[in-house]
Amino acid sequence: MADIRPERVVILGVPIDNLTLDEALAQVATFLQQSQPHQVVTVNPEFVMEAQHNPEFQRVLLQADLATPDGFGVLLAARWQGTPLRGRVTGVELTRRIAELAAQKGYRLFLLGAAPGVAQQAAAVLIAQSPGLVIAGCFAGSPAPRHEPFLRQIIAAVRPDVLLVAYGHPAQDLWIARNQPFLRIPVAIGVGGVFDYLAGRAPLAPGWIRRMGLEWLYRLCHQPQRWRRILVAVPCFTWAVLRAHRVRQ
């Protein structure tokens, strides 16, 4: 299957692939049929803002094989600057669809990160939703570089086809970029809080709230300790996009 690069939309210097959930899954399926390693990033407003002052993280986003539009804010920003994105690809839905694909095709998943026991709970949910899914392993671990040789040994021993890393950005994405040259897993994705959502440790906003783009308000109500992250993801990101648009005019 040919690897056709999707059109990209650039927001504040961060490229995002202009594709739908189905198209993102098709791209992942293509990666899985190839021998070389790939890195997938799920870009939301926090990613974009982090990249403004973190050159290493920005370099990872620029070099990613697939950058999905995860976050209602990036859809609004893209529309505002006249380059609308065609859909939203959330980490939760992409993970579920990849699990379905893996169950159908016999691919093996490894879940790395989150708090101890959460990856196992998330794996159980994915197996229940996609019977026949093979989980090659689950491990919490740490994104600290000193732990990487040990983690590489654990992961390499079971040879997964898909590696889901839940250390939060930018740690998860930097971890993948550092370790993919050694692991060479067909698809490695930073999935943020996906394990927590799947395991029921964090509340997932109802569909109508997600469609309205009010997940940030839902999270603030249920997890007020996230206020700093929400400040970055909503008003700071909005202001940065508006300011950049004004400068271009």
| 229 shares a domain with 126 | no
Residue 116: pLDDT over 90: yes
What are the structure tokens assigned to 31, written together?
A: 């990666």
Residue 8, pLDDT score? 94
User: pTM here?
Assistant: 0.87
Of 156, 181, 198, the last residue of a domain is 198
> Could you report the per-residue pLDDT of 42-91, keeping only the tens digit for each?
999 999 999 999 999 999 999 999 999 998 889 988 988 889 999 899 89
- In CATH, what number is assigned to the domain containing residue 170? 3.40.50.10700
In sequence order, what DSSP letters do the residues of 181-196 get, joined into one string? Answer: HHH--SEEEE-TTHHH
The residue assigned the tokens 């930018």 is: 170
The SS3 of residue 151 is helix
Residue 105, pLDDT score? 97
Q: Which helix (H) or strand (E) holds 75?
A: helix 72-80
| 42 shares a domain with 156 | yes
Q: Which helix (H) or strand (E) holds 31?
A: helix 21-32
Q: What is the mean pLDDT of residues 141-158?
A: 97
Residue 239: pLDDT over 80: no
| 232 shares a domain with 211 | yes
| 52 shares a domain with 100 | yes
Residues 86 and 19: beta-carbon distance below 8 Å: yes
User: Peptide bond preceding 170: is omega within 30 degrees of 0, i.e. cis?
Assistant: yes
**Residue 181 domain-assigned?**
yes
| 144 shares a domain with 65 | yes
Residue 71, pLDDT score? 81
Residues 112 and 119: beta-carbon distance below 8 Å: yes
Alpha-carbon distance 203 to 84, whole Å?
Answer: 29
More confident: 217 or 120: 120
Name which of 245, 246, 249 is nearest 78 in CA terms: 245
Residue 238: pLDDT over 90: no
Residue 153: pLDDT over 90: yes
**Residue 2 domain-assigned?**
no
Mean pLDDT, the chain, integer: 88
**Residue 3 domain-assigned?**
no
Residue 204, pLDDT score? 63
| 217 shares a domain with 99 | no
Residue 210, pLDDT score? 56
Read off the pLDDT band of 6 (50, 70, 90): confident
> Could you report the per-residue pLDDT of 175-226, keeping only the tens digit for each?
999 999 999 999 999 999 999 999 987 656 556 455 555 565 545 455 555 5
Residue 4: pLDDT over 90: no
**Residue 1 domain-assigned?**
no
What are the structure tokens assigned to 213, written together?
A: 């783009």
Alpha-carbon distance 70 to 75, whole Å?
Answer: 9
Residues 69 and 89: beta-carbon distance below 8 Å: yes
Task: Note down the domain range covering 102.
Answer: 8-198
The SS3 of residue 121 is helix
**Residue 165 domain-assigned?**
yes
| 152 shares a domain with 244 | no
| 219 shares a domain with 127 | no
| 154 shares a domain with 39 | yes
* Cα 76–chain centre separation: 19
Alpha-carbon distance 171 to 46, whole Å?
Answer: 13
Residue 154: pLDDT over 90: yes
Alpha-carbon distance 110 to 139, whole Å?
Answer: 8
* Cα 207–chain centre separation: 19
**Percent over 90 (pLDDT), the chain:** 72
Domain count, the chain: 2
| 87 shares a domain with 176 | yes
Residue 228, pLDDT score? 54
How far apart, in Å, are the Cα atoms of 142 and each of 91, 148, 193, 224? 20, 8, 15, 25
Count Cβ atoms below 10 Å from residue 101 Cβ, excluding itself.
18
Residue 28: pLDDT over 50: yes
The SS3 of residue 243 is helix
Name which of 57, 34, 173 is nearest 112 in CA terms: 173
Read off the pLDDT band of 152 (50, 70, 90): very high
| 229 shares a domain with 177 | no
Q: What is the mean pLDDT of residues 165-176?
A: 97
| 60 shares a domain with 168 | yes
